[in-house]
Chains A and B, each alone.
Chain A
Amino acid sequence: MNIFLNFLIASVLAGTPLLFGTIGEIMNEKAGHLNLGVEGMMAMGACAGFMAGFMSNNLLIALLAAFAAGMIGALIYAILTITFMADQNVTGLTLTIFGVGISNFFGEYMLVHSETNSLKLPEQITAQLSNINIPFLTDIPVIGPLLFNYNAFVYLGILTAILCGIYLNHTKLGLNVRAIGENPGAADAAGIKVTKLKYFNVMLGGGICGIGGAYCSMIINGGVWMSNSVNGMGWIAVALVIFASWSPTKAIFGSFVFGGFNILKYYFPKSIITIPNAFYDMLPFIITALVLVITSIRKSKENSQPASCGVNYFREER
């Protein structure tokens, strides 16, 4: 029982960066942009967040830096695809390569120029990122540790998911965004500023991805800088968007499930059966592939990819 509880808690922790990545990608796709650069934007956020925290000793600045870095990645993508009509898939893939590369480059640079040949976040930030104890609530057995004893990122992620859900489904701006993703021509004819809103949503999504990256670099490795900390999470996030049927709130559940697959190897009782570690490492990707196959059978029109996702919009196209 205890192992199971620990497994659930660890799943939530491992799923949180996926959650940010997934929400970010949903914001992109809802505006009609299939952005395959999630991995890159997360990597940029990971590097910027860690370095800003390392130098400023301020968590808020670290988060803002991560958000800004993700946004800059998204801005590159937005300029290329929205303004210059470049192919979305190619641009996204390139953004991934670029983001991972530049993040490792700066990380390495800082590492080489550090005195101890290692980078560690200041104590103050590490403390701020430790698990939050909420009086009374945390002390409730089972439910306490399961719900009320995480680091601030986890709650921020869930809050982001809920806010994005409200934004997309219950505000006028969100309605306009959804219309753009489905049929930009219709939105344009209705007088919506398609280009402006696309930029806004793509960049907002990029920023959210950046925060997810910061989680990878600042929490997963215990506050020590390591290259490639995002390590494929961005790709799983792209697939999770489909699993979550383009709903930020459903993404909460989805990311925690996939977080579980990521850390299953530490919790699966070795006494029952011994499976090579490589298999566990493979698991999230196999499940991702399976999810893609299964969900492509889905028929509901509402819970599927926005109709114009992946297609650039040019008003005067004949």
Chain B
Amino acid sequence: MSDSSTTRYAIELKDITKTFGSVVANENINLSIKYGEILALLGENGSGKTTLMNMLSGIYYPDAGSISISGEEVAITSPTDAINYGVGMIHQHFKLVEVHNAMDNIVLGTKEKHLKPIVLKEKILNISNKFGLEIEPEKKVYNMSVSEKQTVEIMKVLYRGAEILILDEPTAVLTPQETEKLFAILRKMKDQGSAIIIITHKLHEVLSISDRVAILRKGKLIDTVETKETNEKQLTELMVGRPVSLKIERPEVEEKKTILKVIDLSVMNEDGTMGLNNINFKLKKGEILGVAGIAGSGQKELCESIAGLMKVKTGAVLCNKENIIGKTPDEIIKLGISMSFVPEDRLGMGLVGTMGMVENMMLKSYKINKGFFIDKKPARKLSEILVKKLGIVTPNVETPVRMMSGGNVQKVLLGREIESNPNVLITAYPVRGLDINSSYMIYDLLNEQKKKGVAILFIGEDLDVLLELSDRIMVLCHGELKGIVDAKETTKEELGLMMTGKSLQGVDIDE
């Protein structure tokens, strides 16, 4: 690349403002990025990162302000415009047609005339060689891993010849090894002169990949700093607006009695594949057992089979030598096990979105209520206690929970489950979509329960968090247990290898 004084600006944003109703998502944003540069966009949830990027990709149109690309002022009114200006966006939720193969997804919507599959394949493989992508053009998307799907998304952008690439949280679902691979591709693209904007929550990734960091808070651009001159602490402070401790506690609990023993648990999925294959482990009181694995490795099946929501093919879950598989929730409670399940799909399985907090509380306690009519008073009282205790932000306890932000919804759900005094707590991705503050609040809640002697099964996706919070970590891959490791002794790399299928030899700390 030429030296910086003559480098062209890829994108210049001037005074960009976007509102949704009364909510200001972006306010007077001024930001620019050069060709041959990687810019990281950092901010908590709801700080307006995705909205800002969606204006570049033509999903939204700014209410005020101007966008220039390569020095020329442009109006991006649709994704087609964005593509024509050379802007390619890789969304957090992939925009791929599942039943089509990679090739069909890549050429989708391009203007050139219909190419023969052989010619097209050749063309795709040429581009992938140039940038070091690994891609199988004829593979159907639904057969692909998350990382493969992402590669297809990147290929789509490259195929259109885009020189400006925007990635919205691309590493959220990748293993450390896959993340490294992605970064290698991004660096290669940067060397070839592309401008890249990457949105991520993970500070160490920001520091490793970017040249500059732009920080958004509550819709405003707080600062832009050179990556070389900053550190994780400074970035967090800029992002949150005040100093924050980044350490997750791991309290030690003395009494560690096994409460659940899972033996040879196998689950068959609807499509006939094995969701879980001969899983064996013990869950102890006063510990957090972390579960790591690539998305779809059997986490859902594990939670739901233990919680009694999914039919088990073989195996047992023993509690005091009694198998709880096949028992009704009532019978399980009589055995002295009170299980709470915080599912990943909060509004789908956990709460009823159109109901308020009060009614959602009653979903769990309806049995206590005798008589024909409902008594809302205890539930209302509980709701008010939770609002105060957990700092839930809601206009009032009758407001439909779907109107609340993700963090508050999670607090309502977790709060309700904890209030029922469980001794086994299963949580799936409890901090997914939550910002730093809410996440730490949730970790504290979990630790509090752990200290009370609750056995916690914690399905996580951020390995850093799993390593800091859990006592032990079990790793799943394709429904198989690849090993259980001590969280204090293992490394991210080791977990990453296990997540992609490498079994741990000779180590078993499940005692």
> B-contacting residues of A (Cβ < 8 Å)?
171-172, 175-176, 178-179, 182-183, 185-193, 299, 301-302, 307, 315-316, 318
Partner of A191, one of B20, B83, B114, B142: B83
The answer to whether A302 touches B99, judged by C-beta atoms less than 8 angstroms apart, is yes
Q: Which residues of B contact A183 (CB under 8 A)?
A: 95-98
Q: Which residues of B contact A178 (CB under 8 A)?
A: 97, 100
How many positions in chain B have a CB within 8 Å of any CB in the partner chain? Answer: 31
The answer to whether A189 touches B98, judged by C-beta atoms less than 8 angstroms apart, is no
Q: Which residues of B contact A316 (CB under 8 A)?
A: 59-60
Cα separation A179 to B99 with both chains bound (whole Å): 9
Counting CB contacts under 8 A, is B3 at the interface? no
Counting CB contacts under 8 A, is B108 at the interface? yes
In this complex, what residue of A is CB-closest to B83? A191
The answer to whether B89 touches A189, judged by C-beta atoms less than 8 angstroms apart, is yes
Distance to closest chain B CB from A29 (angstroms)? 14
> A-contacting residues of B (Cβ < 8 Å)?
20, 57, 59-60, 78-80, 83, 89, 91, 94-100, 104-105, 107-110, 113-114, 140, 142, 156, 270-272
The answer to whether A179 touches B108, judged by C-beta atoms less than 8 angstroms apart, is yes
Q: Which residues of B contact A192 (CB under 8 A)?
A: 108-109
Cα separation A281 to B216 with both chains bound (whole Å): 67
Partner of B97, one of A179, A193, A299, A318: A179
Distance to closest chain B CB from A162 (angstroms)? 19
The answer to whether B98 touches A172, judged by C-beta atoms less than 8 angstroms apart, is no
Where chain B touches its partner, the secondary structure class is loop
The answer to whether B108 touches A301, judged by C-beta atoms less than 8 angstroms apart, is no
The answer to whether A171 touches B79, judged by C-beta atoms less than 8 angstroms apart, is no
Q: Which residues of B contact A172 (CB under 8 A)?
A: 113-114
Where chain A touches its partner, the secondary structure class is loop
10 tightest A-B CB contacts, nearest first? A190-B109, A186-B95, A191-B80, A191-B109, A189-B95, A182-B97, A192-B109, A190-B108, A179-B97, A191-B83
Q: Which residues of B contact A188 (CB under 8 A)?
A: 78-79, 95
Q: Which residues of B contact A182 (CB under 8 A)?
A: 97-100
Cα separation A179 to B114 with both chains bound (whole Å): 16
The answer to whether B98 touches A175, judged by C-beta atoms less than 8 angstroms apart, is no
Q: Which residues of A contact B94 (CB under 8 A)?
A: 186
Partner of B99, one of A190, A193, A307: A307
The answer to whether A189 touches B79, judged by C-beta atoms less than 8 angstroms apart, is yes
Q: Which residues of A contact B57 (CB under 8 A)?
A: 189
Q: Which residues of B contact A307 (CB under 8 A)?
A: 98-99
Partner of B108, one of A175, A299, A315: A175
Cα separation A49 to B95 with both chains bound (whole Å): 43
The answer to whether A299 touches B98, judged by C-beta atoms less than 8 angstroms apart, is no
Q: Which residues of A contact B104 (CB under 8 A)?
A: 175, 179
The answer to whether B60 touches A186, judged by C-beta atoms less than 8 angstroms apart, is no
